[in-house]
Chain A
Amino acid sequence: MGEVAGIYALTLFVVSVLFAAVSIVHAQTHRRREQVRSSLERCYLSILNRRLLEGGATVCHFPLIERRSSRLTLARVVAHIGAVTYGYDRRVLSEVVRRYELDKLLLEQTRLSGGMRRVQWLHTLAQVECGERTYRRMIKRFTHSHNRYIALCVTLAALNHSPERCIAILAERERRLSPFDLAEVLMMLKRGLIPVAYQPLLRAEQANVRLLGLCIVRYFGVTEAEEEIVEAIATSDREVAEAALFTLCALRLRLERGEVQRAAERMSVGERRAWYRHLASEGYSAQAIAHVLPAEDRGRMHDYVEQAVASYKRLLTN
């Protein structure tokens, strides 16, 4: 009996030692790979950045580029440069993508991955300039995905591929753009990839296009769009009307209007509270908006304003 227990204990000990050894080797390999990837990333970034700043021929040479992992690192560097900078010659980055077929590789990697990794690779692919064939293949495969992140990546890729069709792409999109999606589109716009003309966007019939227009107006503080914003508040689409109302407040424009009052009346209790909090954080005092507030809500608005001021997050401006 004692011998059997001893054999079991020994087996368990050997298995645990083996398991620990495999874990250590795996961790070391992973760390070494990460170090190599990080060094390569710095090296590729340095080569690309120097070429972008100094100009010259568009052809760049990268060490160890024949490896698949190196090309994936290069793809990430190209996408990241595109995401955090603007004003560079985009032809250099396009040439790198074309020469090393990074778009094809990224699409392949997207297919091989699952879950959030797939989304990450697809997002990288959406940020580089795809060739026509890769773009078609990507659209064919992912355009009907139910995953909202994948749907966003497909929209971003389409906008990156044909920026002149910006309005049509957004109009054709079935899913509504969330604030997160709008922020991603806005970043593309800020990098100069898509046009900033807000008027056609605000006058469009499709909700997604109007939401983007309102987002642009809010971001750039376009107070000249006051009339279009007020029109959007009166629209039957609740989401657009709410976005327009918040935009009007974000621009600190006058709220004494029938449209605003009617929109406030349509709101549920929760929505109205959220709006009051937004008003307080935007610096509206309770007195300044007394005429659009029902009498029973004035006390609540006072509380929100007091909280905003007491937290030092906001000085009253209006």
Chain B
Amino acid sequence: MTLVLSQLFTGISIGAVLLLIALGLSLTFGQMNVINMAHGELIMAGAYTVYMLQKVIGGAGFSLLVALPVAFVVAGLMGVLIEVLLIRRLYARPLDTLLVTWGVSLLLQQAARDLFGAPNVQTRAPSALTGSIHLTDDLAISSSRVFILALALIAVAAVTVVLKTTPLGRRIRAVMQNRDLAAVSGLATGRVDRLTFFIGSGLAGIAGVALTLIGPIGPTMGTNIIVNAFLVVVVGGIGQLKGTVIVAFVLGIVQSMVEYTTTVSVASVIVFVVIVAFLQWRPQGLFTLRTRSLA
């Protein structure tokens, strides 16, 4: 029983990481139908922000807290730059943005290699986040995982509040549901796009901060995790935050359970098969945006 519980929590924590990575993607993919393959490198930018801040500030815990807003802004600005320079020119060609942003991701990876060196860099985690919390005598959960889970939930809550209650959120939803109508109604869709991209990319920066607690920090850290995050967005349904949340956790739990009983390589194949089967049932993802459009 303890094992099942601890494995369940592991699944949830894998899900939380996936969620944190996929949240920003889900926003930009939902609103602009843009697949940002450089999302992983924005995560990397967030992680390197922690590294740089620790060099400047020192203290592991304090610099981690400072890194959260700083990484949000750094990654957000990088995202806006990508949007303004490239993606804006390609709104009618979503598949082309996929290739272009892949190119951007290669550039950013090499830039990181030239700036910080090819080997991984290390950051120190605050001592409060390196141990584990004992729930019972033999059931312990790692505190960094709890931190990430909390961070993911806060991020989801914040995004939901912004989308549902603020004027900006109203505009984002309007553009998401019908871009042309929103434009005709006098909305500056270009500005809304940039803001969405800023938030979405900023969330990648926050994910990067969280990842420094559990994984390596290096030029290729983004590519290792991004494919699964894309699957989460696709299966969750375009522009559907709740879909992304549910799918992230379900996928995390499925993966951890299968991994536990079989091997990692079998787990990855099974997850893929499950996803293809799922899309047979719901080709537009778990939740779909109701529109009258044909496409």
**A and B: bona fide binding partners:** no
- Chain A residues with CB under 8 Å of chain B are none
